[in-house]
Amino acid sequence: MRKTNVLGLIFPNMHDEALRDLTAIRAFGSVPFAGRYRLIDFPLSNMVNAGVSKVGVVTKSNYQSLMDHLGSGKAWDLSRKNEGLYILPPFGATDESYSGRVASLAGMEAFFANSKEDYVVMSDCHVVGNIDYGKLIKAHTATGADITVGYIRGELPRLDNLMVLQADNDGRVTDITIENGGEGEGNFGIGLYVLRKDLLVQLVRNAVSRNQTHFERDILQRYVADLNIQGYEVTEQALVISSLASYYAANMAMLDGEKRGKLFLNERQIYTKVRDCCPAMYGLESNVSNSLVADGAIINGTVKNSIIFRNVRIEEGAELEDCIVMQGAVVFGGTKLGSVVLDKDVVVKESRTLQGYASFPIYIDKKSIV
Amino acid sequence: MLLAGGQGSRLYALTRNIAKPAVPYGGKYRIIDFPLSNCINSGIETVGVLTQYQPLELSDYIGSGMPWDLDRSQAGVHVLPPYQRNKGADWYKGTANAIYQNIAFIERYDPEYVLVLSGDHIYKMDYSKMIEAHKEKNADCTIAVIEVEMEEASRFGILNTNPDGSIYEFDEKPAVPKSNLASMGIYVFNWKKMRKYLIEDEQNPDSENDFGKNVLPAMLNAGERMFAYRFEGYWKDVGTIDSLWEANMDILNPKVPLDLSDREWRIYSRNAGLPPHYVADSAKVQNSSISEGCNVYGEVEFSVLFPGVTVEEGAIVYDSILMPGAHVGKGAKVQYAIVAENVEIGENAVVGERPEDVSDLKDWGVAVVAQDVKVYPGATVKAKAMIDADVKGDE
């Protein structure tokens, strides 16, 4: 992939509150997904696949597991002498104004000044999709927009501060509303933006000087008439994660071969950290159907419609249906689990029964013993 | 110094395009992952890999050495093919000559000891313990040995030792073995001694320039201090179709002492970067090892599936090894077979047979289909067959 003139920025803490359970111990971006991935892998791979070779990860809190996952950026081919991966923790962490995208951007002027790229592409981590950012970047330069806003057309997800757009026939955004817990259908923003770096710096300085913190409300909405803001519809399959139920549903969607195929493309791979575990082992008593199983798993029980992460052990006589079992969890025999999300290293002892529901899955904290 | 230049001719079609150390093993590894991982786990951070036969895929696979943490600025892994000098160029004439031609490489690091390895075996071994034993005995050369069954000893290079472990005789494939200590082809040398004997060996026009046949006997005759180092644990030669098949099946057997999930002694490999594998409603998977990116819709038992393998609905895979990217079409039957990379097996094709279905066991053996071969729908590949071209009918 040819290098582009675009700098990448990823915001792994945006929407942390929407997945409160899973983000108590980690950033939204390091929430595990589909057996071996973390949510940040998707925007990060999308950037790398579009030829972006310098990416800043703008962290805010709980970012240890994220840093462990990202390492030097080697897995994304972002361990470079020039450019590469930069983790950008808060600048002046005690600053109370550190509450939104604007404040974090304001702390990054030095990073911007040290980057020779002229454009910036920004992304959050709550959308799982193999999205062609290259096409988005091209559209931005082709339309001559000041800012290009990626959006999805469809049912509005229940997210706080959801940006809903109206655009005219030429794609220019004419109206922006900020909604809490949207309803019905519409065009909603997904935290995906392309703009010139110098314009971004100027807009952020401007907002900071007025003590404004909210990128969507205080910049995009405010200047919708003055700036040429173009909408860009993301037409690739994109699964929006806005709650535990939608997180659960997005994982379960990966059991559908067609949907899985649209996410894991040969021409645009999704990269993630390599763990060097051995292949999954199926025992004589294993009975697995319609499930996704990662390397390092040991399966001797019954597993149906489930996502099994790396190094999970399912013992003989355990029965799992519609479950998500994260890395290192162990489920003993005689257990019956239905619609349960087991976080990392959970142990479920003999003969326990837990039954959730697809729209209300049971979530078990990391390292719990049931 | 890892000797990886061998063709592995007894693997026939499997090594048509690749060197033996690059042959896939164990569901996600290649043979060379074992000595390389052993090196880094033993604290050996400078490794020369001597390549000669079909080096392209092997060199690509090793790359910068990143998967084994051997991408170092001052050390790391170095691929060493034969090269041209101002007085001409030579292929590596033998194992000793391969090292001889790379004396300059070794001298750059000015080592006290040199460890010589081969890329033919599956085993986990802490080389640092062997080097420690070498130092303790004040040896000039230490050879790793493993106890084999007495009946099988005549297949190996046998070392006869004194009670203190010193070697008094080499017995290459003896008809009547005096001991059951087989050489593992793993040597530790004092570099200064080794250098001297390599140069002498090179000057001897009658020498085959081989460690086992020439250099080691020469050292023994000259009265150098040579010791055997006993290794206990899993060690398997994968130089033949049958032994490669068996060694793969060993990972499915919990009684075999080869633990690939040991976090303290990881075996590293280059990662395919594929999503987790999918097992469908119509599938049945038992006693098998399945890796990333596989899609299983059929029945898989007692088999090892490498990354990116597809087994379609109604297909049956028993007692077989399917290497990366192999595709088994609907209703096809694969039994006792090694199916190499990117092989396509068409619908209702039959590959391999069970021993109980063959009238004369002499005709039975593991069937092998070489890389990129296409077995057309309905075609048959018999037991023991060795296929390296597309199959349209019965072969």
The pLDDT tens digits for A112-166 are 999 999 999 999 999 999 999 999 999 999 999 999 999 999 999 999 889 999 9
Position A219 scores a pLDDT of 94
For B112: left if phi > 0, alpha if psi spans -120 to 50, otherwise beta; the answer is alpha
**Which position has the token pair 């703009």?**
A195
What does the pLDDT read at residue A60?
85
The answer to whether residues A205 and A321 belong to one domain is no
Kindly tell me if the per-residue pLDDT of B93 is higher than 50.
yes
Tokens 């082809």 belong to B185
Return the residue of A nearest to B307 by Cα.
A279
Q: In this complex, do A295 and B260 lie within 8 Å of one another by their Cβ atoms?
A: no
Binned at pLDDT 50, 70 and 90, residue A92 comes out as: low
Judgement on whether residues A218 and A135 belong to the same structural domain of the protein = yes
Give residue-wise pLDDT tens across range A7-23: 999 999 998 889 999 99
Same domain, A218 and A319: no
Residue A231 region by backbone torsions, left for phi larger than 0, else alpha for psi between -120 and 50, else beta: beta
With contacts defined as CB-CB under 8 Å, which chain B residues touch A260? 275, 278
3-class secondary structure, A203: helix
User: Does A276 map to a domain?
Assistant: no
Q: What is the pLDDT of residue A99?
A: 61
A108 shares its domain with A30: yes
Element at B218 (helix H, strand E): helix B216-221
Predicted pLDDT at B273: 87
| pLDDT > 90 in chain B, percent | 86
Q: How many other CB atoms are there within 10 angstroms of residue A318's CB atom?
A: 24
Asked whether the beta carbons of residue A269 and residue B67 sit closer than 8 angstroms, the reply is no
Contacts of B268 in chain A (CB under 8 A): 276
B329–A contact, CB cutoff 8 A: no
The residue that leads in pLDDT, A98 or A290, is: A290
Q: Of the candidates B251, B266, B291, which has its C-beta nearest A295's C-beta?
A: B291
Rounded Cα distance, A35 and A271, in Å: 13
How many domains, in total, are found in chain A? 2
Tell me: pLDDT of B42 over 60.
Answer: yes
Cβ of residue B260 closer than 8 Å to a chain A Cβ: yes
- For A281, name the nearest residue in chain B, comparing CA atoms only: B289
Range name among A91-100, A275-284, A357-366, B244-253 with the lowest pLDDT average? A91-100
Interchain proximity A270–B67, CB inside 8 Å? no
Residue B47 half-sphere exposure toward CB, CA atoms < 13 A: 34
How far does B268 lie from chain A, in Å, by closest CA?
6
**Is residue A94 packed enough to be buried (19+ CB in 10 Å), middle (13-18) or exposed (0-12)?**
exposed
Taking the CA atoms of chain B, what radius of gyration do you get in angstroms?
A: 22
Contact flag B290-A276 (C-beta cutoff 8 Å) = no
Mean pLDDT of B108-122: 95
Per-residue CA distances from B322 to A29, A289, B311, B367 (Å): 36, 21, 10, 12
Q: In this structure, is residue A205 part of a structural domain?
A: yes
Taking the CA of residue B40 and the nearest CA in chain A, the distance in Å comes to 14
- Contact check, Cβ <8 Å, A260/B291: no
Each residue's pLDDT tens digit, B59-81: 999 999 999 999 988 899 999 99
Summary count for chain B: helices (H), strands (E): 8, 33
User: Kind and range of the H or E element at A244?
Assistant: helix A244-253
Chain B residues with CB inside 8 Å of A328's CB?
A: none
pLDDT at B395: 64
Q: Residues A79, A215: one domain?
A: yes
Tell me which amino acid residue A252 is.
M
Residue identified by tokens 């041209």 is B84
Average the pLDDT over B318-336 and give the result: 98
Name which of B138, B137, B100, B111 is nearest B214 in CA terms: B100
Pairing of strands A238-240, A127-129: antiparallel
Q: Are A346 and A329 in contact (CB under 8 A)?
A: yes
Residue that is last in its domain, among A237, A263, A289: A263
Q: Do A18 and A154 share a domain, yes or no?
A: yes
pLDDT category at A97 given cuts 50, 70, 90 is very low
- Whether residues A140 and A217 share a domain: the answer is yes
Mark whether A185 and A247 lie in a shared domain.
Answer: yes
Which of B27, B67, B278 is opposite residue A278, by nearest beta carbon? B27
Any domain includes A300: yes
Collapsed DSSP state (helix, strand, coil) of residue B22: helix
* CATH number (domain holding residue A255): 3.90.550.10
Q: Does the beta-carbon distance from A289 to B27 stay under 8 Å?
A: no
Residue A2 has pLDDT above 60, yes or no: no
Is residue A16 situated within a structural domain? yes
Domain-located, residue A268: no
Is A306 found in the same domain as A175?
Answer: no
Nearest to A4 by CA among A119, A155, A156, A167: A119
CB contact under 8 A, A279 and B266: no
Predicted confidence at residue B85, as pLDDT, reads 81
Co-location of A50 and A131 in the same domain: yes
Mean pLDDT of A301-306: 98
Which of B290, B305, B313 to mutate to test binding with chain A, by most A CBs within 10 Å of its CB?
B290
User: Cβ contact (<8 Å) for A274 and B67?
Assistant: yes
Find the CATH number of the domain harbouring A360.
Answer: 2.160.10.10
Is there a domain that residue A272 lies in? no
Pick the last residue of a domain from A263, A289, A317.
A263
ipTM of the complex: 0.90
Which residues constitute the domain of residue A157?
Answer: 6-263
Residues A251 and A300 in one domain: no
- Of A183-192, A233-242, B77-86, B191-200, the least confident: B77-86
- How many other CB atoms are found less than 10 A from the CB of residue B214? 21
Q: At what angle do helices A133-143 and A41-49 cross, to 10 degrees?
A: 60
Residues of B in contact with A272 (CB under 8 A): 273
CB–CB contact B275 A264 (8 Å):
yes
Q: Which of B347, B363, B351 is nearest to B387 (CA)?
A: B351
Could you tell me if B275 lies within 8 Å of chain A, comparing CB atoms? Answer: yes
In this model, does residue A101 exceed pLDDT 90? no
Least confident segment among A74-83, A297-306, B344-353: A74-83
Question: Which residue among B252, B261, B281 places its CB closest to the CB of A289?
Answer: B281
A204 with A232, same domain: the answer is yes
Q: Which residues of chain A does B269 touch, with a Cβ-Cβ cutoff of 8 Å? A: 276
Q: Percent of chain A scored above 90 by pLDDT?
A: 82
Question: Which chain A residues are closer than 8 Å to B252 by Cβ?
Answer: 281
The reply to whether A115 falls in a domain is yes
Closest CA–CA distance from residue A276 to any residue of chain B (Å): 6
- Among A263, A293, A327, residue at a domain's last position: A263
pLDDT, tens digit, 9 for 90 and up, residues A194-228: 999 999 999 999 999 998 888 999 999 999 999 99
Check CB contact of B118 with chain A, cutoff 8 Å: no
- A369 lies in a domain? no
Question: Residue B282's closest chain A neighbor by CA?
Answer: A289
Alpha carbons B194 and B185: distance in angstroms, whole number:
16
Inter-chain residue contact A279 with B289, CB threshold 8 Å? yes
Q: Which of A34, A283, A291 sits opposite B279 (nearest CB)?
A: A291
Of A50, A176, A166, A216, the closest CA to residue A119 belongs to: A50
List the single residue in A279, A284, A311 with the smallest CB-CB distance to B287.
A284
pLDDT for A3 beyond 80: no
**Could you tell me which chain B residue has the CA closest to the CA of A286?**
B286
Q: Please give the mean pLDDT across all residues of chain B.
A: 94
State the sign of the Cα–Cα–Cα–Cα dihedral A187, A193, A199, A202: positive
Mean pLDDT, chain A, whole residue set: 93
Q: Do A293 and B26 touch (CB under 8 A)?
A: no
